């Protein structure tokens, strides 16, 4: 049947980090254990800032949230679920993605993947962030398979 997109009613222009985090908090109400979210955007677009807003919605201090660029994965715990924050920027796609226990991850929380544009695994949402000066245009699409 293939993959189809429909727009979650979420498309926003944000002109500050706080607006970006607030929009991410709104989006977090759609998230549930097992969801996999790709965050797409250029370097400095606001992907980690968006993750901070999601974490804040689940009661995690945004100070705990940092880019996992050099670690590949940061994990944040809340009473509701685990947040698995990946950064695939440094991966060489020709070698495939690293093997994680995706079943364990999706049973206990959500996966937020920065730089996962070449991800071919299961996917629930695509968050596209385009930055133009201080303005961020954020579009969220729900993936239906």
Specify the number of domains making up the chain. Answer: 1
The domain that holds 84 is classified in CATH as 3.40.50.300
pLDDT, residue 100, reads 67
For residue 44, what is the enclosing H or E element? Answer: none
| 73 found inside a domain | yes
pLDDT, residue 98, reads 58
Q: Are 49 and 63 in contact (CB under 8 A)?
A: no
pLDDT values of the chain reduced to their tens digit, one per residue, 145 residues:
345 444 556 889 999 999 999 999 999 999 999 999 999 999 999 999 999 999 999 999 999 999 988 888 899 999 999 999 998 876 655 555 556 677 778 788 999 999 888 777 788 999 999 999 999 999 999 987 6
How many Cα atoms are found within 13 Å in the side-chain-facing hemisphere of 136? 27
Contact partners, residue 31, CB within 8 Å, separation at least 6: 37, 54, 110, 125
| 37 found inside a domain | yes
- Domain residues for 52? 32-93+101-127
| 138 found inside a domain | no
- Of 35, 41, 121, 109, give the one whose Cα is nearest residue 78: 109
| 69 found inside a domain | yes
Number of helical H runs and strand E runs in the chain:
3, 7
110 pairs with which residues across the strands? 83
pLDDT, residue 92, reads 55
| 36 found inside a domain | yes
| 16 found inside a domain | no
pLDDT, residue 4, reads 47
| 120 found inside a domain | yes
CA angle 145, 49, 64 (to 5 degrees): 105
| 8 found inside a domain | no
The phi-psi region of residue 111 (left if phi > 0; otherwise alpha if psi is between -120 and 50; otherwise beta) is beta
Q: Are 112 and 54 in contact (CB under 8 A)?
A: yes
Within 9-140, where are the H helices? 17-28, 47-57, 102-108
Q: How far is the C-alpha of 24 from the C-alpha of 30, rounded, in Å?
A: 10
């Amino acid at each position: 049947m293939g993959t189809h997109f429909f727009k979650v009613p979420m498309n926003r222009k944000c002109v500050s980090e706080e607006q970006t985090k607030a929009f991410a908090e709104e989006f977090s109400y759609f998230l549930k254990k097992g969801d996999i979210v790709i965050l797409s955007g250029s370097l400095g677009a606001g992907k980690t800032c968006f993750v901070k807003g999601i974490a804040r919605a689940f009661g995690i201090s945004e100070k705990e949230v940092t880019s996992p660029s050099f670690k590949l994965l940061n994990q944040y715990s809340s009473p509701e679920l685990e947040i698995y924050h990946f950064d695939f920027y440094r991966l060489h796609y020709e070698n495939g993605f690293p093997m994680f226990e995706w079943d364990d991850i999706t049973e206990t929380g959500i996966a937020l993947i920065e730089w996962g544009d070449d991800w071919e695994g299961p996917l629930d949402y695509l968050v596209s962030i385009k930055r133009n000066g201080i303005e961020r245009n954020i579009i969220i699409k729900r993936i239906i398979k």
